[in-house]
Amino acid sequence: MTSYNTSSTDYPKKFQQELHHPMLRKLGLIGGLSWHSTLEYYTYLNQSINEHFGNNTNPPLVLLNLDQYNMHQLQKADRWDTIATMLIEACDQLYKAGASAVMFCANTPHKVYHDVQPHSMIPILHIGDAIGNAVRKKGLCKVGLIGTIFTMEEPFIEKILKDKYDIDMMVPDQKEDREKLHTIIQKELSLGILKPETKKYILDQVAILESNGAEGIILGCTEFPLIIGQNDLKIPVFNTTLLHAQMGVDFILGSDF
């Protein structure tokens, strides 16, 4: 029986077309923020490529799993410079592994996007573009967002929505509500803890945003889709996990951003 090593050039030519889809671009994923939502990215990317080809073709992915506990400690200490350095190093590792682009598999790391992208050899697919395109396609002008306290209180998502897509963004008015949502993400959802009373609280916050004029709601943390979805609301829900993952699918299949 003839054996071959793992290099594609060592396979008989007649098998090479079956083994490779040369038009697919390799995508790097920076995950672990949390691993629960990273799993959603991984599942969606694979399932979408399977459906595109009508078989079990999988996309060329490279996943780097970061330590979420360490990341949260750095966030609490306001060490965003260290976080940016970690992400730059992660982008470099993924580039060396053959990735043609990279995604932060969470909203909050995009706070340092502008510190990381200039040092990356490959483009970083910004979650704000995925959100902005989806909201604009729905024809909405004003949306609410719930997420980590960083995503709600700092402008790194709001600014790209306003400046690039002319979309106004609003968040819960009360500081204590923003802090509670942040705590829910870090102490419950990122650990896979899904409580009925937590779901009710989140839906109550969304209802307040809707009463204040929000035409849709952005689940601005990739953990929120684990507990609420479109079936829970009458207004459009923008699941940032799926929107960002679809952006990754489009990139793999050849679209530029």
Predicted structure pTM score: 0.86
Q: What is the mean pLDDT of the chain?
A: 91
Domain extents for the chain?
A: 8-126+244-252, 128-239
CATH of 8-126+244-252, one of 1.10.10.10, 3.40.50.2000, 3.40.50.11540, 3.40.50.1860: 3.40.50.1860
Among candidates 124, 94, 65, which has minimal Cα distance to 247? 124
Using N-to-C axis directions, what is the helix angle for 35-53 and 240-252, rounded to 10°?
A: 40
Among candidates 19, 168, 189, which has minimal Cα distance to 108? 189
Given pLDDT bands bounded at 50, 70 and 90, which one contains residue 120? very high
Q: What is the pLDDT of residues 164-174, one digit of tens each?
A: 999 999 999 99
Q: What pLDDT score was predicted for residue 3?
A: 37
Least confident range from 77-91, 160-174, 217-231: namely: 217-231
CA 230 to chain centre: 18
Q: What is the 3-state secondary structure (H, E, C) of the chain?
A: CCCCCCCHHHCCHHHHHHHCCCCCCCEEEEECCCHHHHHHHHHHHHHHHHHHHCCCCCCCEEEEECCHHHHHHHHHCCCHHHHHHHHHHHHHHHHHCCCCEEEECCCHHHHHHHHHHHHCCCCECCHHHHHHHHHHHCCCCEEEEECCHHHHHCCCCHHHHHHHHCCEEECCCCHHHHHHHHHHHHHCHHHCCCCHHHHHHHHHHHHHHHHCCCCCEEECCCCHHHCCCHHHCCCCEEEHHHHHHHHHHHHHCCCCC
Average pLDDT over every residue of 109-128: 97
Q: Is the dihedral of CA 92, 94, 100, 104 positive or negative?
A: negative
Among candidates 41, 9, 11, which has minimal Cα distance to 242? 41
Q: What is the largest CA-CA distance in the chain?
A: 71
Average pLDDT over every residue of 194-211: 97
% of residues, the chain, pLDDT over 70? 91
Given pLDDT bands bounded at 50, 70 and 90, which one contains residue 10? very low
Q: Tokens 């490959």 belong to which residue?
A: 122
Q: What pLDDT score was predicted for residue 17?
A: 41
Average pLDDT over every residue of 21-42: 89
Given pLDDT bands bounded at 50, 70 and 90, which one contains residue 28? very high
For residue 213, pLDDT beyond 70:
yes
8-126+244-252 shares its CATH topology with 128-239: yes
CATH of 128-239, one of 3.30.950.10, 3.40.50.300, 3.40.50.1860, 3.40.50.10800: 3.40.50.1860
Q: What is the pLDDT of residues 39-61, one digit of tens each?
A: 999 999 999 999 999 999 999 99
Q: What pLDDT score was predicted for residue 141?
A: 96
Q: What pLDDT score was predicted for residue 20?
A: 52
For residue 22, pLDDT beyond 90:
no
